Structure 1
Amino acid sequence: MSQKNEIPLLILSFAITAGLIAGGFWWFTKNTGFNLNQSNSSNTNNPQVSTEKPSGKTFTSIKNVPTGLFNYGGSTSWAPIRLTVDSVITAVRPEFRLRYVETSKATPGSGTGIQSLIDGQLAFAQSSRPVLDQELSRAQQRGFSLNQIPVAIDGLAVAVNPSLNIPGLTLDQIKSIYTGKINNWSQVGGPNIPIKPYSRRITDGGTVELFVQDILGGQPFGSQVELVSTTTQALQKLAGSPGGIYYASAPEVVPQCSIRPLPLGRTQGNYTAPYQEPFVLPNECPGKRNKLNIEAFQSGKYPITRNLFVVVKQTGQIEQQAGVAYANLLLTEQGQELITQAGFVKIR
């Protein structure tokens, strides 16, 4: 064959090969969930927030769920979801096995989970607050970025002893109590009883970090704040302390029989309860229990709400696929209904 005839054939062969490669790449991205923009997100300084909407209504309808055993962990506020939702996920999708892991070197919490994720000990993490700048920096030093996917709405509830007669508190009053400027309930319209604030340590999790950052404005706790190890311990102390006050994730507080969740407001007298009215009295509990004020949480009328996040490593590896799959399962109609049963509020 002459050189003159070979040139058109070479051009045609090149065009066919390029078309096959392009078509293969399109098929790969469509069927694996790989996202080019996400894989390059380590060049940014902000956590990526997923806006992808999973298709289908049930766990069985979600595609690209990997096979294997995946370690996860983090926020203690997620405990009801781990108990209620994750067990159903593993039953419906047995190929997607989940193992909750607690590090022995630190108290469980959002920060501990995200650090373990960065260190390669977890496939994905559960967090009750957004990823921090320093966590992004540590991830980027390891060569990847972090994606935070909101899957539920939670609120912080402030609880007192059930005998305390007070209509509610403003956010400014809560700040003054925990920074030591207000130390008697008579200063906020209550009886002449010394205030005894309780809190977990700031290193114990996202709830405390969020409270210090958003409510206290970064100021330290006052010297009168008694530090406790767990919410269970705090609620026990609160039940026996007439002047006690404590804050925690609303699903951990609102249904309890031995304490009273307080209505809160941004301005004095304009309070919104974290529970559905009418309030269930302690002597009616546990036959009846207070339920979350879902409407106030969704509308933002209740003044202390937050998102719960699945935090995913942007590595393009199976751990990223596992984290995205977990979030997508929670965002199905089935997942959102189970999140409601766990005591949280649907995000969609």
Structure 2
Amino acid sequence: MDNTNQRKALINTEIALFLRGLIIGKVLTIIVIGGLLWWFLKPNVFSRNTINSSSAQNVNSISDNNASKNASNFQTVADVPTDSFNYGGSTAWASIRQLVDSQIQNARSELKLHYVDPVNGSPGSSSGIRMLLDGKLDFAQSSRPLTDEEQATAKERGFTLEQRQVGRDGIAVVVNPSLNVPGLTVDQLQQIYLGKITNWNQVGGPNLPITAFSQRPEDADTVIFPNNSDLKGQALGSNVQYVYSATEAVRQLSKTPGGVYYASARSVVFQCSVKALPLGQTSSQLIPPYQKPMVSPEQCPRRRNQLNTEAIKNGSYPMIANLFVIIKQNKGPEQQVGDVYANLLLTDQGQKAIEQAGFVRVP
């Protein structure tokens, strides 16, 4: 009996050991199979991650390339001619020629631009457009819009003229620093140059005769009688003294107590030897062309007045001078270079450079 029980116990023990071994074997098998599956699947996971990472990099690269291609700078302008061209015109553009044009030619060395002064008369918008009409320039720079007469002359000669706006400036009125006058309205300024107002006491100033300085109308850089004005074409008063340039006018003003001159705000607001006057449509709304507070001549040149760009930008300043590239529409190289030059100035890079030159970008 005892032997029978011992055999049963031994058999049960062997069965238990067998079942335990079987279970352990199955567990090990599952672990091994799971490990193998993980091992074989792991490269695919890594591969997918690598592909996804690579794809993201490619997308970013494509995006960066597209952004670069769409970036508006001098390099993105197409059809830049590889030749030498003559240009000229407005003296107000002097800082653009010095700063912006040099940047353009550094970036696009194939384009060679040569500034040309007029042989007769003083440099300015009018003389530059006249030289363009006469075939002496390939395109012109202007601080005023084209006149009907200039368009008619172009038509007579077999082509038309296009004006492309590339920036904005103001027209500032400057006087001798010793002159005490609150400012002028646009109408008062016009009446001074027509010879109707001849003494500063007529506009709230001292009893002092007015000496008005101006470029000759045929060479004028900026205008105070718009094309659509009833005063357009009227002769200037006998009190007007003609000067060759803004530089000469500023020099004359410094020694003429009753002197007055108007010009590009960018050209004269920064000057130490003259004082800019506030302007307005009415005497109760006078806006300075400079940023307040005004810097006195005694503080200059340690400090200089800065252009009131905000008033020019929002149009509250009453006398705005738009900057135009004047392009000959003749389907020739003149038209090509004029278009390209305007396009260069209208890029983001060109507009930022125009602001650096002291002007306001196109709205």
**Which TM class, normalised by the smaller chain length?**
0.7 to 0.9
Q: 1:267 matched to which residue of 2?
A: 282
Does residue 115 in structure 1 map to residue 99 in structure 2?
Answer: no
Match for residue 148 of structure 2 among 125, 133, 137:
133
Query: 1:212: how far off?
Result: 9.1
| Stretch deviating more after TM superposition (155-164 or 104-113) | 104-113
Q: 1:210 to 1:68 in 2, by over 3 A?
A: farther
Does residue 153 in structure 1 map to residue 168 in structure 2?
Answer: yes
Q: 1:173 matched to which residue of 2?
A: 188
Please give the secondary structure, in 2, of the residue aligned with 1:72: strand
Q: 1:222 matched to which residue of 2?
A: 237
AA partner of residue 131 (structure 2): S
**Matched-pair contact (CA < 8 Å) for 2:264–2:321:** no
**Matched-pair contact (CA < 8 Å) for 1:85–1:335:** yes
Q: Residues 293-322 of structure 1, C-alpha deviation per residue, up to 9 Å, x if partnerless?
A: 111111111110021111111122222111
Query: 1:216: how far off?
Result: 4.9
Query: 1:215: how far off?
Result: 9.3
Q: 1:288 matched to which residue of 2?
A: 303
Match for residue 100 of structure 2 among 56, 76, 85:
85
Does residue 206 in structure 1 map to residue 221 in structure 2?
Answer: yes
**Matched-pair contact (CA < 8 Å) for 2:222–2:321:** no
**Matched-pair contact (CA < 8 Å) for 1:76–1:205:** no
Q: 1:183 matched to which residue of 2?
A: 198
Query: 1:344: how far off?
Result: 1.3
| Stretch deviating more after TM superposition (62-71 or 212-221) | 212-221
Q: 1:240 to 1:324 in 2, by over 3 A?
A: same
> Please, what is the CA RMSD of the aligned residues?
2.0
Q: Residues 64-121 of structure 1, C-alpha deviation per residue, up to 9 Å, x if partnerless?
A: 2111111111122211211111111111110011111123134322222223222322
Structure-2 separation of matches of 1:95 and 1:135: 31
**Matched-pair contact (CA < 8 Å) for 1:107–1:203:** no
Give the % identical residues: 53
**Matched-pair contact (CA < 8 Å) for 2:167–2:360:** yes
Q: Residues 148-205 of structure 1, C-alpha deviation per residue, up to 9 Å, x if partnerless?
A: 1000101110011111122111112112222222222122111222222111211122
Q: 1:236 matched to which residue of 2?
A: 251
Please give the secondary structure, in 2, of the residue aligned with 1:337: helix
AA partner of residue 165 (structure 1): N
Structure-2 separation of matches of 1:137 and 1:67: 31
Q: 1:323 to 1:279 in 2, by over 3 A?
A: same
**Gaps (5+ residues) in structure 1?**
1-54
Structure-2 separation of matches of 1:225 and 1:128: 21
**Gaps (5+ residues) in structure 2?**
1-69
Does residue 324 in structure 1 map to residue 339 in structure 2?
Answer: yes
The structure that has the greater radius of gyration is 2
Does residue 346 in structure 1 map to residue 346 in structure 2?
Answer: no
AA partner of residue 119 (structure 2): S
Question: What TM-score does the superposition give when structure 2 sets the normalisation length?
Answer: 0.77
Does residue 60 in structure 1 map to residue 71 in structure 2?
Answer: no
Could you say which structure has the greater relative contact order, defined with CA pairs below 8 angstroms and 6 or more residues apart?
Answer: 1
Q: 1:140 to 1:209 in 2, by over 3 A?
A: farther
**Matched-pair contact (CA < 8 Å) for 1:162–1:239:** yes
Structure-2 separation of matches of 1:162 and 1:184: 17
**Matched-pair contact (CA < 8 Å) for 2:147–2:227:** no
| Stretch deviating more after TM superposition (162-171 or 250-259) | 162-171
Q: Residues 221-277 of structure 1, C-alpha deviation per residue, up to 9 Å, x if partnerless?
A: 211122222211111111112211111111111000111100000011210010111
**Matched-pair contact (CA < 8 Å) for 1:159–1:245:** yes
Structure-1 separation of matches of 2:86 and 2:108: 16
How many pairs are equivalent? 295
**Matched-pair contact (CA < 8 Å) for 1:129–1:210:** no
Structure-2 separation of matches of 1:272 and 1:196: 23
